[in-house]
Structure 1
Amino acid sequence: MNERIIRKIQGLVFPALLIILWQGVSYFGWVNPYLLPSPGDIIGAFTELLFTGEIFIHIKSSLFRLGVGMAITMVLAVPLGLFIGLFSRAQKFITPTLAFLQQIPTIAWIPVFILWLGIGEGMKIALMVYAAFFPVFINTLFGIQSVDQKLKEVARAFSLGYQARITHVYLPSAAPHFFVGIRLGFSNCWRALVAAEIIASAKGLGYLLMEGRNLAQSELIFVSIFVIGSLGALIDYGIKYLEQRVLPWHKA
C-alpha cells in the first residue's frame, strides 16, 4: 500500500477511537447530553442543515468574507514586505512601529474597530486583515532578506537589471517563505473571522455557533465547531497542495 495512504489512515485512528469513546460515554449517560451531545445527535443536526441548505448559506458567507480579507491582506502585506526587504534603510523607519502593533492581540482591536466602523462588514474585514497581516508580511520580508548572497553575486555578474533580479532571483528564493506566510495568514484570518461573526453577524459559521447557544441547541454548536475546523484544515491542505505544484523542488 502507498506510504502516503498509510500515513493518512494512521492519522484517522485517534479521531476514530475518540468518537467511539465519546459515543460510548453518551450511550451510557455518563455526561449531560446538553453539555456534550452524542456524535449521533451532532450528525443528525448536521444532516438537517444539509437538507435545508442552511449550512451552505453560512459557509458561503464566511468563505466570501475570508476571501475579501485575505485579498486585502495580500495587497498590503506582500508589497510592504518586498519593499522593506529590498530597501534595508526603510526597515529602520517602519519596523519599530510594526513591532509594536504586532504585540497587540487581535481581540484587543475589536472595541476600536466597532467604534470606528460599527458592527457591519467593515469591522469584520479590518479584524481579519490585522490578524493575517503580520504572518504574511514577516515571512515575505524574511524570504527576501534570506536570499543567498551567491545568487545575488551571480545576478550582478550577468548584469541583470533590477526588475530581472527581483523576478528571477528574489521572488523564486523567497517563494517557500511566502507560502508559509500565506498558510499562517489564512489560519489567523479564519479564526479572526469566526470571532467577528460571533460578535455581530446575521450569517456565517460564527453566527451559526451563537445561534446554537441562544437556542440552547448544543448539537448546533458542535456542528459549527466541526465545520469551522474542517474548512480550516481543507484550506490549509489546499495551500500546501498549491505549494507542491508551484514549487515541486521544495518540500511543503
Structure 2
Amino acid sequence: MSISIFENSSIRSGISISRSRARWLTPLILPVCLLALWQMASVNDWVSSQVLPSPAVVWNSALDLTSEDLITHILISLRRLVIGLSSGLLAGVALGTLIGLSRRVERLVLPIFSSLAQVPTLAWVPLFMLWFGIDESLKLVVVIKAVIVPITFHTAMGVRDIPFRLQEASSVLRLSPLARTRYLIIPAMAPSVIAGCRTALGTAWSSLIAVELLASSDGLGYLMVWGRQLFMLDVVMVCICIVAVIGIALDRGISWVDQAYIHWPQSSTYELKRRPVKGFQHVEPWVLPALLFLIWFLNVQLGTVNSNILVSPVQVLIKLWHGVIYGDMAHALYESLRFTMIGLLVGGGLGIFTGVGLGLSKTVERACGPVLAVIRHVAIFAWVPLITAWLGLGDEAKVAFIALACFSPLLVATQAGVANLSPQLNEAARVMRLRFWHRMTKLILPGVLSSVFSGLRVSLIYAWLATIGAEYFITTTSGIGSYMIAAQQLFRIDDVMAAMVLIGITGAIIHKLGYQFERLASSWRFK
C-alpha cells in the first residue's frame, strides 16, 4: 500500500514537472518557428536577400552598428525623450492641477485646451516645421505636445475627483496650503498622473520616432531612414528591435513605479467631464478663445508677425471654406477617410479573429501572446521603412500600415472579452453540447460585443492617426496628410493651418461616433 502511494506521488510530481516545463517552453514555439522559417527562406533564396536579409546578416549588422554610431543615435533619441517628457510632465501637472482646483480656470481654459487637443500631434508637425525649422527644437516641441495633453487631462481628473469627505477633513483640520498639497492633493492625483504617464510615454516615443523619420539628421528614426534609402534592411530591422526593447523597458518601468509607490484605489475611468454651468458661466468658455483670436488677428494686421510664419485667422477660415466647398481639400479628406475605413476593416477583422483565438485557448495564448506583445511595443511609425521597402510607396503600403495600427487595440479588447466570459455560460454550453459554430454565435460573440466596440472606438482613433502619418511618408498617395506636406514644402501656411482645423474637426467627429457606437452596441454598460 505504501509502495503504491509512493508510486502515485512520483507520477504526480513527474506530471507536474512536465506541465511546468511545457508552460516554459510553449512561449518559445512561435519565435523558434518564425526564426527557422526566416532562415529557410534565406538559405533557399525564396526571397531576395535585399528584401529579407538572413538572421546572420541582421545579427552581424547589430554587432557592427554597436561598435560604430548605434549607441550615439540611441542616446540622442533618449535624450530628446527625457527632456521632452520632463518638460511636458511639469507643464501638464501644473495646468491640470489648476484646472482641477479652480472651477473658473476649468471653464476658461479646458474648452480651448480640449479643442486644440483634438488636433493630433502629427498634424502639428508641418506647422512646427515652418515655425521651428528641422533642428533640435522641432523634436522637443513635438514630444512636449504629445506629453502635455494626456498629463493635463489625467492630473485634472485626479485633483477634481478628490473625495468630498477628505476635502472637508482638511478644512476641519485647518491644513496649510503646503500641508494640503502634500497630504491631500499629491496623493489623490498620483494614480491619475501615473496613468497619464503610461499614455504619454507611448505617444511621446511614437511621435519622436515619427519626427525623426521625417526631419532629422541623427537619432534612431534617422538611422532607419538611412538604412531604408540605401536598402540596407538589416539596419532597419536592428533599429526596430531596439525600438521594441526601449518600448518594453518604458512600459515595465512605469508599471514598476505604479506597483511600488501607488497603494491606494484608482479611478476606474479616465474621462474628464465638464462640470455643469449656469448663468454667466456659459459665456466664460468663449472668453479666452475670443481674446486669443483678437490678439492673433491684430498682430497679423499690424505686421508684428511675419506673414510667412503666421497668417490672419480670417484667411485660414476662408481657405478652409473654399478648400472644403470648391477645392482639393474635400477630395483629400475623402481619400484619407476611405483608406482609414479600409485599413480598419482589414486590421480590425484580423484583430478580432486573433483575439477570439487567443481568448479561447490558453495554449495558443501562451504560444503567440509574447510575440504579439513585443510587436505591440514597437512604436507604430518604426514599421514605416520596412513596410515601404516590402510593399513600395503605393496604396498597399498605406493600407498595411493603417491595418497594423488598428490590429492591436481590437486584439487586446477581444481577447479580454473572451477571457472574461462567465464560466457558468461556458459550463451551460458544454452541458447543452453546443457545436462550435452555435457556441460562437450564441455565446462568445454576443458576450464579447461590448469589449469589441470598446476596442473599435480606440481603433478608429488609431486608424485616423495612422492615415495622417502614412500620408506624410507615402507622399505618392493622395490624402489630407499629403496635402499638408505639399503645402508645407511650398510655405503655404494658410493651407497648412486650414488642413489642421479640418483634421481636428474630423478627429472629434470620429471620436464621438466611436463613443456613440459603443453606447448603442453595449448600452447596458452605461445605465
Alpha-carbon distance in structure 2 between the residues aligned to 1:143 and 1:230: 31
Question: Is 1:220 aligned to residue 235 of structure 2?
Answer: yes
Report deviation, 1:172. 0.6
Q: Secondary structure of the residue that 1:36 maps to in structure 2? A: coil
Moved more, 14-23 or 204-213: 14-23
Report deviation, 1:194. 1.1
- Residue correspondence of structure 1 range 179-218 to structure 2 within 5 A: 179-218=194-233
Question: Is 1:62 aligned to residue 77 of structure 2?
Answer: yes
- Residue correspondence of structure 1 range 68-87 to structure 2 within 5 A: 68-87=83-102
Counterpart selection for 2:132 from 93, 117, 121: 117
Query: 1:97 matched to which residue of 2?
Result: 112
| Per-residue deviation, residues 16-73 of structure 1 (Å, max 9, x unmatched) | 5443443344444333332232333222211111233x11010111111111111210
Q: Secondary structure of the residue that 1:216 maps to in structure 2? A: coil
Report deviation, 1:202. 2.0
Moved more, 152-161 or 181-190: 152-161
Report deviation, 1:117. 0.6
Question: Which has the larger Rg?
Answer: 2
- Residue correspondence of structure 1 range 1-252 to structure 2 within 5 A: 14-52=30-68, 54-248=69-263
Unaligned runs of 5+ in 1: none
TM value normalised by structure 1: 0.88
Alpha-carbon distance in structure 1 between the residues aligned to 2:186 and 2:71: 38
Alpha-carbon distance in structure 1 between the residues aligned to 2:78 and 2:265: 28
Count of aligned pairs between the two proteins:
246
Unaligned runs of 5+ in 2: 1-16, 267-527
| Fraction of identical pairs, as percent | 33
| Per-residue deviation, residues 138-167 of structure 1 (Å, max 9, x unmatched) | 111111122222222222232223332221
Q: 1:32 to 1:85 in 2, by over 3 A?
A: same
Report deviation, 1:234. 0.7
Q: 1:81 to 1:230 in 2, by over 3 A?
A: same
Report deviation, 1:14. 4.5
Report deviation, 1:131. 1.3
Alpha-carbon distance in structure 2 between the residues aligned to 1:99 and 1:7: 47
Paired AA for residue 150 in structure 2 = P
| Per-residue deviation, residues 73-123 of structure 1 (Å, max 9, x unmatched) | 022111000010011221111111111111112121111111111110111
Q: Secondary structure of the residue that 2:170 maps to in structure 1? A: helix
Residues 119 and 200 of structure 1 are in contact (CA less than 8 Å); yes or no, is this contact kept in structure 2? yes
Q: Secondary structure of the residue that 2:46 maps to in structure 1? A: coil
Residues 244 and 250 of structure 1 are in contact (CA less than 8 Å); yes or no, is this contact kept in structure 2? no
TM value normalised by structure 2: 0.44
Paired AA for residue 47 in structure 2 = V
